[in-house]
Structure 1
Amino acid sequence: MLKKLLFCLQLLKAKKIYTFILIILTVCLYFLLSQLDVTEKLSNTIYDNFSVANIREPSPDIIIIAIDDKSLKELPIWPWPRNYHASILDFLTQAKARAIALNIIFKEITENDELLASSIAANGHIVLPVQPIISEMNYLDDTNTNINKLNIFSNIANSGHVTVITDKDSVLRSINLWGGFGETIYPSFALQLLNMTDPNIAKNYPNPHLFNNTGAWLMSVGALVQFSGYANTIPIVSYTDVLSGRIPFTIFENKIVFIGATATGLGDNYTPALAGYYQQMSGVEIQAQIYDALRHNKINIALSLNIVHGFGLIFIILTCLIISRFSPLAGVSLALLSIIIQFLFSFILFKGFSYWLPVSNSALVIICFMVIYTSFSSHIRLRDANRLLEARVSERTQELTTTNLVLEQEINVRKTVALKLIDSELQLRIILDNLYVGVIMIDEDGIILAANQTSSNIFLVPIVKIINTKIDDYFSYEPESESSVQDIKFNFLRIIEKLTQEYINTNVELIAMRGDSTGLLVDLSFNRFIRENKVLYACLIRDITQQRQAEKLTHEFVATVSHELRTPLTSIKGALALIKNSILDKLDERSKKMLNIAVRNSDRLLVLVNDILDLQKIQLGTLTFTLHPVNLVSIIHQSIELSGSYINELQVYVNFYTSDDNVMIMGDDNRLIQIMTNLLSNAAKFSYANGMIDIYLENSKTMTTVKVTDYGCGISDEFKPRVFNKFSQAAESINRSKGTGLGLSITKTLVERMSGEINFYSEYGHGTTFYFTFPLIESLHE
């Protein structure tokens, strides 16, 4: 049966008949959906989303006086006496309010009605809601006296009905501009207020009673309100604040005032037609929104069913004809494009011309046609494709059989390579584990990713426990050498930051903390590399405990020998000085020259011995400092005086510049003089004959800086990294005097031990400036 049906469909397709049959069925489906209101919910959702695009700022001259929860709390007895409302109206009359919409229905008769009526009459610009059907009240008597009393307000004020009708989903979209009971037709509450404030605009909304007298509630054809915004967008003040005088007169001048209930359980609340917004508005705010929409002609007109159906049919027929001429995939795209065009056209009408054209039915029908048409077309195409596919599958099966054989061979080769890689990795692991140094790999955060057996032996911790721990947990600085300049605790990130700076060595000496709570002196070197776009570091750990012990013995031996040399050298120097001062004039020129050479060499040898002794004390940690308040200006003057003979001999002149003669720092007099004389002699040695050395003393709030500048040959870029190294000497010394290469190294250590900093800058061929800084005593106290 199914095959016969498909055959018939193919025949119809060949004759191009089944397309027209589908179009006719689609048109019938459209009218069926229109009758059943299947897409009413979808249409409402689209309308609500369109409404969001029309949100605007409300008119600034509208304000609401709300009978809110606060008012009921302050005036708990309800209903309130009419004299309250009379007071409010008198207040607004004095404030020169432009118009008042009193959205309160008075169902009961009170003794203050005449007082309220007097206030209404005195204002003359008040709109009241139409009184409810008299038959629903319990105030009738035989003489209809109460009816007349209730009409006291209607006779002196304009009235408008406040009835609104919500859709099936309880959302307020349309409004009744005119309505009433029997033959009595009233304008809506908002329209009546518009008649009072803007009569020329109100003429745009004529009374339909002139054309239709059915005696039922009437609605202007397709009147859909455009809400200006969400709840509370119109300014609201509390009723009791106005009644008690807490609100000034000026706020209501030339304003259109709405008075109504917003309190919980009092009055009606409605949900406006704004997509994604579910907060309800009070009845008085709804009336204010409707008034604002009428005032600015923000009323959408729903097109008649004839226009809607005509537009829908045109789009449906054109779309179906176009889809039938293309492939199923292209048909789907065209159907979606048609639906998008319909919605865009509907939105343009809504936004630009204030017309509402629902297109949900036509869109749904086009989707149904698309599904049916593409299903049958695809079935026929798939059948032909299956036949072709079966032939190709047979060919591919043969090809895959051959390919599988090739893949098996490749898999065997890969297995062989994998086994070789495993062997290579095992060999590499054995080599790493038997290295004399420990090797660990860490990431940028200092987490250990891998380690060899030597590292485990150094830390006395199994490799398994080392992995995924922080390197900071295994090292600390030497307390005796590092505690004065930085924390004892090792910090990997700070070390890496220093290693990236210029002139910083990659080797760091630390204490390795072992699992048995002992420490081991080690040397760490870091190498940076990138793997799989990640920055990693290879760290080599070398045990230098025995090396340091040997160095210590060497230092002690050199210190002892140097100390033993200084005593005879001092005697030799003294004897030579005595000979030079007593019999120099009696010697011939050759003897004088030999004596001067002997004096200079003894001086140089004594300086060398003293430098070596200071260096050994620094390395052994026995160098002592006597810190006390010192005037740095006096230290500089003493240093210039002590270095005077050497500087004069090299024909160099010294200038000292300072703006303060009393610069107090915490330091050791002798060590500060040693720092200055080292820098002065170094500057003189690299200065040209008849050159200048400038000394600058500069102060800030907390620090003082001394700069020693020469204008000699400068320091080459190659030598800059080694300036403060031990036994380093530049080859560009202008003067004949040669040093030990220890002066700047000792100077740097002395400055740092007294909590100072030293550095330099130099331009090759134009001179050099060495500068050091110390904190002022005032900043130390702070």
Structure 2
Amino acid sequence: MKHRFLIEWALIALLLPPLMAWLGQQPGLVQADLAIYDKLIKLDVHEPSPEILLIGIDERSLNELGPWPWPRNLHAQLLERLSHYAPRAVLLDLFLDKPGPAPEADRELAAAMLKLPVFLPVRYAEPADGTIGPASFSLPLAQFVRNAKGVGHAKLTPDADGIARRLFYQESVAGNLQSYVGELMVSTLSTQSGTLLQAPGANACRRRGPFGFALAGASKTYRTVPYVSVLRGEVPAEFLQGKILLIGAVSDSGLGDDVPVAGVGPQMRMSGLELHANAIDVLQQGRAITFAQGRLLFAWIAFPILLVLLLFLHTPRNALSFACCVAAGWLLLCVIGLIWGHNWLPPTAPILGVTLAYSLWSWRQLNALLLFFGERVNTLNAIPAGAFEPASSNMPLALYTVENQTLALDRAIDRLSHMHALLSEGLWQMPVAVLICQDDGGISQSNSAAQLLLAPAQPPSDVAHDPLRGHSLPSLLHQIAGSHPQQTVHWSQAFSGEYTTAQGKVFRLRSARLEGSTGAPRAWLAVLQDLTIERLTQRKREQWLSFVSHDLRSPQVSILSLLNLYEQPGSGIGVARLVHDIRREAQRTLRLAEGFMDLTEAESGDYRFTETEAGAIMLDAIDQAWPYAKVRGISLVPTLGEDDCPIRVDPVMLTRALLNLLNNAIRHSPAGGTVSLCLNIAADNTEVVLAVSDEGEGICASRLAQLMSSANLAREAAREDAELPARSRGLGLSVVHAVVKRHQGWFDAHSAPDAGATFLIGLPLLNNDKFK
């Protein structure tokens, strides 16, 4: 594709400049350039030279001297009078190519020409109507040519729109080369070479060295005096002394010498004599405007086209900016060249060429882009998606290739969007914590399980809001482990152990590299394997093994020891004592087994939540503990602060937990003591608090902390050896802790040595219940 681009670029660069050079000579662009020229030439303002004076054959002169043509001796008298003022040059804008009616008058005029520098125009003669023949220049009579200072053409050639804008330094008709008479007036004859504007032919006029001129103003800008006034000596001498004099017809003479001009406001007409005055003035001041031709004109047109094509090739994305800047720059150069350099460089062809270059380049790029998109879309649609393949949709085929490619692109986008949505949602819903990481460990995407594990303070909401995005997974793992970063190996290999979060979650990192396309940055799939349940099960298994190996084994060892002691002669153990001790150890074994069964049911049993009153639960527990309290001589005193304390609980399990607290309080209270039960609603009206207080020996702070630790409750309670009723001792606090946790409440205790103990249970009120 790159080679094709270069070939197309070379073809545009090779063919477009010659095409624009040819179009620049065609009527449409020529007229556009002339319109711009007319606007800009108004900016080239200059004052008319006071050294130029027009002696006009006007209406007054015709009225006083008679109708045209006048006798030539009249012109001789005028030249005789002017010779006294020593003019620098005189243009006698009259055609003297035919003898006058009086030969003596011709001789008088020829003689008068010797007294001052007179310049004469040649007549441009076209073939007569209905005849075929070449155009020609008709020279003045030989006697006039001999005595004149110079003879040249004064041909005003309007452009295609009929407006006179320029003259030629040299005109050649049928091999007769004539210089411009005005140029002869300001300098000696100097041939100006240039390129032909038109190919010469049998009837063609060869033109060399065109030049333009800015008009000093509208008609009658230059000082003009009537012919008759000069002839009669009515004009002050300072008007004539040492001036450049132009003698000829002016606008109000009615002799038909006016031509359309531009550059001085609305289009107007001006006499040929005034145009020659403007031309001679700019030639004197060196302000003649040169028109670009030939190689210069071709270079002017070709250079911006080639420049923008090179810029397009270098930086395609800024093609429009380059085209606009070059076009504006070329227009600015055109203005500067005309106003300050007095060179006319037509801007239409190069600007149009830049526009066409941009259009052709954009068209070829767009076409190549469409082809490329078509190929890539087909490749994209050909990739199998497996289970993520969306349902096919029947889209109608369009009549145009672009529309077909657009529909294919829409199908590919819909397919990718559907696949992305399914993949993202599937990743989000996975129960395993999964993260997509960059090669440096930065997290690009995570699912809800990973956010719950690593960012529990920000509950996951949806796929779009990822609190872990942008964080570093190695940094998070170092924070959890409380370790320092190690730079020796890649992070995927550095984290191989187990990690425990502040919430007690245990996980292990597993990672795998995702192989992408060639040159794409590496990505990693990180899976945080949740080991919390496995480790909890392992701890429970260890507790059971400890219970079986130590706690349940201890009573059996005691029984065997008693039997061995009984069999030894002289042990002093009677049958009654033996039976009593064996019964005690058997009951102890039974209580431990039942305690673990209660704990197992409390931690993993099927709770049946119902709405009930907290007071009813407390009274039910008191009823069940009353026989044991009566045996111990303990009084149970309930205090119900609020009758209406609705809660949603499992009544059986909560009664069992409260009964365990009552039995512990009764066991540790002295005979005749009191166990108090209190029920109150918390100050914020969000929970109900159940309190059980005794008057026992109390518990020191360190011992209380051990008892209230969920990890030590089972072990500590199982080591108690005092005599208790069934289902009232051993693992009671562990059961209480498990039941309260399942009810999403809290369990606490307060005690001091010799001050009794108070155990508290907090449960949410029914209107603040959090479970369903």
Q: Same fold (TM over 0.5)?
A: no
Which TM-score applies when normalising by structure 1? 0.41
Structure 1 or 2, whichever has the larger Rg, is 2
| TM-score, scaled relative to structure 2 | 0.41
